[in-house]
A and B are shown apart, each in its own frame.
Chain A
């Protein structure tokens, strides 16, 4: 089993507008086991997105190292797929063409890659009638499902999700969260997901890392041992409530003003 992610004393900082350096993240150290689902929870601007970019090889840390299966991450890896809050679909490509893009870049034949994309549609909750629609014709929720399809077709060992459902309405969000849980149950990739939603984090994660305010540090490491498969109704259970309380207490620490 591969897909082991490690961060060692990761620090990220940016040049400040008025000169000097603005620390954004860290130092943070953590370990994510192969097949583990970890949620990153914390106030906005605490460097979670930066961390995702570093792990995805899109950005180098100012200090420290990140590893994928023991090798230093310096550039995007074919084993890792990223998904962001915006669906980032190409508006000139149809749904199928967008999903098939990663295969096209790998040189997979057109018939084969379009077939692979078509196969994914039902699992994504997308009807066949949307196959040839353009992103401009889709709702936000459907666009994000297409983006998820484009991630899954790469058969990645690691999924890095940066608030993927943050822009969706609550009901759509709940449904797509459940769909993601099913995908993960079947494929058992390593998932690192940024979210602001405590319930979503508990429902999905094996472990929740709570971040402090900028520069973000890990202030709590909360395992979620609730049995799987989990359902939305589980969020009304006592066990769920206890975890939620624990997480909320940690978040309060991160957000002293709001506490």
Chain B
């Protein structure tokens, strides 16, 4: 009896530490590869070199500046793409003829790889932040648009009848029925979009720019400064993960009713 509970407790501890163990193991293998000189150090630098580089660029302010530049691009692109997708998605959900008119363009934009048409955006919008924002907005746009359309179209007809029978105004139906009813689908769209926005900004920065983590990666790569490339990549990962975390928190508070309902 005691043995079983002890084993179960041990297993629970193990599960909690499993991700950290995995991380530790990865760094260990990395260090091993470095020490065995499988690859030259400019291809696989030591973990410590990356750490040192991180400290250097943190202290000289470069990391901060480029991170802020990327963060601004990401956030503005995300918000712009969201607003566009939400309004257009709502309009399309309400007027099917709009879908017939717009779907060829939307599908074409979605089918073309962003990396392929991003240079065009730089030509049109310049090498400043606006081209990155447009790239981010475009990449965010499609999943959010689809989720908005599905979310609004899936509002139950019975609840629409209910609102009608209580003489709800169109605005009341929008705020009290359509938005909350579509919210779960909108939130899952936002989760996808938040991570995509980072990709959009970096793709824009890769093509042509003088600031941002994408720019930093390009620069570092041309100088074979592999530790700096790794620092910038880790920073981007952190931004994407943080954004995802913020959206998850938002989802938890907005959809708390779902968790309460599932418990039953």
Contacts and interface: CB of A to CB of B under 8 A. Distances in A.
Contacts of A137: 260-261, 263-264
B260 A134 contact: yes
A84 B180 contact: no
B257 A88 contact: no
A135 interface: yes
Contacts of B158: 84, 86, 88
B166 A136 contact: no
B159 interface: yes
Q: How large is the interface on B (under 10, 10 to 19, 20 to 34, 35 or more residues)?
A: 20 to 34
Contact of A104 (B156, B176, B180): B176
Interface string A92-123: 11000000011011000000000000000000
Contacts of A88: 156, 158-159, 162
Contacts of B168: 105
A76 B159 contact: no
A56 B164 CA distance: 10
B167 A76 contact: yes
B162 A136 contact: no
Contacts of A86: 158
A19 B183 CA distance: 38
A13 interface: no
A58 B161 contact: yes
A232 interface: no
B165 A58 contact: yes
Contacts of A102: 166
B172 interface: yes
A60 B258 CA distance: 37
A47 B181 CA distance: 30
A133 B257 CA distance: 9
Contacts of A92: 180-181, 183, 255, 257
Interface string A68-94: 000000001010111010101011110
Most buried by A among B158, B159, B166, B258: B166
Interface in A144-167: 154
Given A76-B164, A76-B166, A90 B260 contact: no
Given A101-B176, A105-B172, A105-B176, A91 B164 contact: no
A105 B166 contact: yes
A136 B258 CA distance: 8
Interface in A29-87: 56-58, 76, 78, 80-82, 84, 86
Given A90-B159, A90-B177, A136-B257, 13 more contacts: A56-B165, A57-B165, A76-B164, A82-B161, A84-B158, A92-B183, A92-B255, A101-B176, A102-B166, A104-B176, A134-B257, A134-B260, A154-B166
Interface of A: 56-58, 76, 78, 80-82, 84, 86, 88, 90-93, 101-102, 104-105, 133-137, 154
Interface of B: 156, 158-159, 161-169, 172, 176-177, 180-181, 183, 255, 257-258, 260-264
21 contacts: A56-B165, A76-B166, A81-B165, A82-B161, A82-B162, A86-B158, A88-B158, A90-B159, A91-B258, A91-B261, A92-B180, A102-B166, A105-B167, A105-B168, A105-B169, A134-B260, A136-B258, A136-B261, A136-B262, A137-B263, A137-B264
